Amino acid sequence: MRLAELAQQVGARLDGDGDTVVLRVATLEHAGPQTISFLANARYRAQLATTRAAAVIVAPDDAVATSLPKLIDGNPYATFARVATILHPPERHIPSIHPAAQIDPGARVAKSASIGACAIIGAHATIGERVVLGANCVVGDGATIGDDAVIYAGAILYPRTVVGARSTIHGGAVIGADGFGIAEDAGRWVRVPQIGRVVIGADVEIGANTTIDRGAIDDTIIEDDVKLDNQIQIGHNCFIGAHTAIAGCVGIAGSVRIGRNCRIGGAAMISGHLEIADGTVISGGTTVYDSIRQPGLYTGVFPMLVNAEWKRVAAPLRRLRELVERVRALERKTKAGDDGHGDV
């Protein structure tokens, strides 16, 4: 595709030869002829001078750093995403039902859907237009999958799960399993039935092996345009607001309410029954024990150190409570002296 055509389609400003042909995307380091790359992180700016790409995507401030034909936009990474989608469009699936698929007679499956081998669709389930259901997927009784959704191989949707239009669920994800609901009685555990659902909005992406528990009474809700990475655990009755992005290995306990436009870094842990304000950013590895009422950047991870230095730092931390009490005692003594009641 000509660079001028790409610029028009993605709404970026063209600088240089618009007849430059690009066929695929590549990193600055590994680019070659007929590829287009991008610079969105300052740490890779040096590679801009040595890249063999045919064209690049840069921010306005970086445009003077290269003589290559370029697309200029204030958000080069988002522009790269649009370019990559144009040059590497998703695979088109032919409407079909594999002979090995098992579909309950009471299910409703759109004629434009593609159903893979050994997929199972339960009674009264609804599969929308152009849905792609991969091999070995399970769609439980009464579940609903909206138009143009893609469910990759091996994903499991429990009964009554709702998936919105254009959403994507990757392989191994389990949506709608029992939440961790148990009540203690005389030293034994009594199971609490989980009667809610999981309701997923439109344009949501759920990564491989991510698990989302259905609600105990009310529904677990994932709003529109939420992006979930791989291997995330979301407990029952959680609410995740629209446009929130959560990185891999995050654990979210039950009944957490996360606002809109939040960003949560990998391996963060969030305790149950908390509220996270709209626009909050939580650094990777942070443990959240209390609700966050004001948006901002929150970090609770001790920075990495060489092991020997870490030991030297950790040793005083173990005595922190003792040190605090000593400081308080000194403050009380000083105050008493200032009031004229201490020793002269």
**pLDDT at residue 303 is higher than 60:** yes
Q: Pick the closest to residue 263 from 281, 251, 250 (CA basis).
A: 281
- Burial (CB count within 10 angstroms: exposed 0-12, middle 13-18, buried 19+), residue 267: middle
* CA–CA gap between residue 77 and residue 10 (Å, rounded): 12
Please count the CA atoms within 13 angstroms of the CA of 73 that sit on its side-chain side.
Answer: 22
How many other CB atoms sit within 10 Å of the CB of residue 205? 17
Q: Which of 93, 236, 243, 341 is catalytic?
A: 236
How many other CB atoms sit within 10 Å of the CB of residue 326? 11
**pLDDT at residue 344 is higher than 50:** no
* Amino acid 317: pLDDT: 82
Predicted TM-score (pTM) of this structure: 0.90
pLDDT, tens digit (0-9, with 9 covering 90-100), for 66-122: 999 999 999 999 999 999 999 999 888 999 999 999 999 999 999 999 999 999 999
Based on the residue annotation, tell me whether 236 is a catalytic residue of this protein: yes
Highest mean pLDDT among 214-218, 299-303, 307-311: 214-218
Token pair recorded at residue 335: 């105050």
